[in-house]
Amino acid sequence: MRQGQLVLWKGRRSNQTYGKNERIDVLDFILDTKNYETDIKHGEWHTSSDALQATFKADIKKRPLEYLGCNWQKLQNLNPNFLGALSYGFQDIIREGSFSKSYWPNLIDLIHSIVKENRDKKEYRNCFSAILSVLRDGFTQENKKIEFDKQTIENLLDIISKLVKYDEDYKYSDYERDPMQMRCNSVKGGASELIIELGIVCKEHECYEGRLKIEIRKLLDYVVSVVKKPEVNCTLGIDFNRIGWFDDEWLKENVEKMFEGDMWDVVWGIMFHGADLHVQDLNF
């Protein structure tokens, strides 16, 4: 990568040598830094973690192709907070209009690699939330949507499969009681939302048959029968009619399970307060 420049001012406790006001590569500085949580120190040079993440994100927005084209192993070595900043950097590019659809294949490959390598690590929770956020835009931002080919769909299926099974230990505050609000702060919940998006894509591309149908049904079965958490199972209520559109057979076979036990209030409440339902949607 060519030099993305970061100006660092002289601080305390020097054990490295940089010239005064020296400009160095942002990514190289981050990779060389060992303390990410409070102040970032690199020899005599120091800055805050939040400031460095902001600088990193801004650098991504200036030269996205160079980040997508660099050594992915180098990027994977980043602290998870900075991998999250990387995802949000690309999301900003999408929303600000300078994103090209040609970025998606490399970006999804990079995301896939990050998830495969770190899927069981608790410290990657915020990073995975950022990843799901940028992928959600890939499904929903009309002019910047992912171009879905066979390999892309397979990669997305694997990403979603791993994240909907992610073992997160997040403590919701007393103010987070609405399941849909809770879903916004849940990796499993965000991944459940993308199960539905992927099912719709497969149906639209006439590939919701064979193995893809089996794998997506497995994920829906997992949510219905194993997860049983409000922040995840609320997806079944808000997207009730969308599930019926791409797989009415599965919906008819599993509708009773969706409302079992504690999930009755969650799914039923969301259906009638948030979902766009019609009488025919309930005609089983």
- State mean pLDDT over 172-196: 88
Which residue intervals of 70-103 are DSSP H helices?
72-76, 80-96
What's the pLDDT score for residue 197? 97
176 inside domain: yes
Residue 23 three-state SS = strand
What b/e readout covers 119-158, taking b as 16+ CB neighbours within 10 angstroms? beeeebbebbbbbbebbebbbeeeebebebeeebbebbbe
First and final C-alpha spacing in the chain: 58
Handedness of CA 183, 187, 189, 191 (dihedral sign): positive
Total Cβ atoms within 10 A of residue 69: 11
Tokens of residue 126, six digits = 């915020």
28 inside domain: no
126 inside domain: yes
- d(CA 198, CA 105) in angstroms, rounded, equals 16
236 inside domain: yes
| Burial status of residue 241 (CB atoms within 10 A of its CB: 0-12, 13-18, 19 or more) | middle
Asked if 57 and 89 count as a contact pair (C-beta separation under 8 A), the reply is yes
Enclosing H/E stretch for 40 = strand 39-42
DSSP state letters, 191-225:
HHHHHHHHHHHHHHTT--SHHHHHHHHHHHHHIII
247 inside domain: yes
At a CB cut-off of 8 Å and minimum separation 6, what does 94 contact? 134, 137, 138, 141, 144
pLDDT tens digits, 18-47: 344 445 566 776 666 544 444 444 444 445
Range of the domain at 165: 61-282
What's the pLDDT score for residue 278? 54
For residue 183, pLDDT over 80 is answered with yes
At a CB cut-off of 8 Å and minimum separation 6, what does 173 contact? none
- d(CA 30, CA 50) in angstroms, rounded, equals 12
Phi-psi region of 171 (alpha: psi -120 to 50; beta: other; left: phi over 0): beta
150 inside domain: yes
- State mean pLDDT over 259-272: 88
Asked if 82 and 30 count as a contact pair (C-beta separation under 8 A), the reply is yes
171 inside domain: yes
- State mean pLDDT over 227-234: 93
pLDDT tens digits, 105-138: 999 999 999 999 999 999 999 999 999 999 999 9
10 inside domain: no
Mean pLDDT (the chain, rounded): 82
Number of domains in the chain: 1
Residue 186 three-state SS = coil
**What radius of gyration, in Å, describes the C-alpha atoms of the chain?**
21
